[in-house]
Amino acid sequence: MNAVAVNPSREEVMLLECPEPALSGPAQVRVRMREVGLCGTDREIAAFEYGTPPDGEDYLIIGHEGLGEVVEVGTAVESLRPGDLVVPMVRRPCRHEHCYACRAGRQDFCYTGEFTERGIKQAHGFLTETIVEEEAYLAPVPAELREVAVLTEPLTIAEKALAQIGLVQQRLPWACPVGDEVAACRCRAVVLGAGPIGILGAMALRQAGFEVFVYSRNPPDDPRAKLIESLGATYLFSEAVSLDKLAGRVGNIDVVYEATGAAQVSFQLMETLGVNGVFVLTGVPGRKGPVKIEAARIMRNLVLKNQVVLGTVNAGRVDFEAAIRDLGVFLGRWPHALRGLITGRHPISRYRELLQDKPRGIKNVIRLH
Ligand code: BGC
């Protein structure tokens, strides 16, 4: 079968011919991959800036945004059957007894850093025809979500962020989002960036009851602006509204959801975070030089306005399940916008240009079967 892989030491991106994997344990499932989404992380791996092959191997099969169909199950598998659609999770736990997060099944909070990530860090990924995976790391997907379920993994980032925001803001029991009170929410969220992570974040925040503003450097005639407005969110073009005017335009900024990985603009935006606000960072910047920040102003605000800055990486099983549920809700509420996020479905033969040429559209997906 074919797989897209990188060899970092030889700086090669290639189509590999490799044997079909077979079940080797009773709790395993063989999955035929249907679609794999590509993101900035894949592009960085294909530029040899990120990504690590499994121990003892010189190549890494990439791809971590997968959707597949079960073709065979081990004798101990209870929840899945051939024909079921599944989304595989990305991160696998470390081996250390003292890592309470991994032992509790929350490897997204791993303490040791010795977790692996399929398609990213020391474990092969999903951009291949067939994978074998433990039942515990596969999230079932209803058949009616087939056309959009490849968006599950990027949506888990927003789901985990919203769960964290909810936990932090329990300190404000009169506000939101806390528990079921979000319907009455008047909170305002600014999303930084109009890529797939930003737009899915905007959908999740709208669904949670926030008034949402997406701040982006894409000009207002870009199709993303229309798509974002169709969610009932406000699109703000960065050249039309400077960052120092943003709070005047939005009001108290209760949440910022950063989805660019751009350090300079993120820290500038931090200066505008409102009273009792939460600033969520999701982007992973490449190793660049230092940036200038107004540290004293940011620090003063953090203290005098009770602000919280949190970073969030990867996601737990609960976040995958929440993302799958929410994709169903989004498909009912904003069918055109949700489908419109996937701007290209391509054969595997186009892997090189998709990974290495200038990115086009919003979300590009490789169709495998
Ligand atoms: C993936 C996460 C992963 C992170 C860091 C992101 O692109 O969505 O699952 O934890 O990269 O490797």
Ligand 1: does its nearest atom lie under 6 Å from the Cβ of 312?
Answer: no
Residues ≥6 apart with Cβ < 8 Å to 357:
none
Give the per-residue pLDDT at 180.
52
The pLDDT tens digits for 78-133 are 999 999 999 999 999 999 999 999 999 999 999 999 999 999 999 999 999 999 99
Given phi > 0 = left and psi -120 to 50 = alpha, else beta, which region is 221?
Answer: alpha
Of the candidates 294, 203, 188, which has an alpha carbon nearest to the alpha carbon of residue 251?
188
Residues ≥6 apart with Cβ < 8 Å to 224:
194, 199, 216, 218, 235, 362
Ligand 1: does its nearest atom lie under 6 Å from the Cβ of 139?
Answer: no
The pLDDT tens digits for 286-295 are 888 999 999 9
The pLDDT tens digits for 151-161 are 999 999 999 99
Share of the chain above pLDDT 70, in %: 97
How crowded is the C-beta side of 240, counted as CA atoms within 13 Å? Answer: 11
SS3 category, 168: helix
* Number of the ligand 1 atom closest to the C-alpha atom of 50: 12
Specify the residue with its C-alpha closest to ligand 1, atom 6.
41
Ligand 1: does its nearest atom lie under 6 Å from the Cβ of 319?
Answer: no
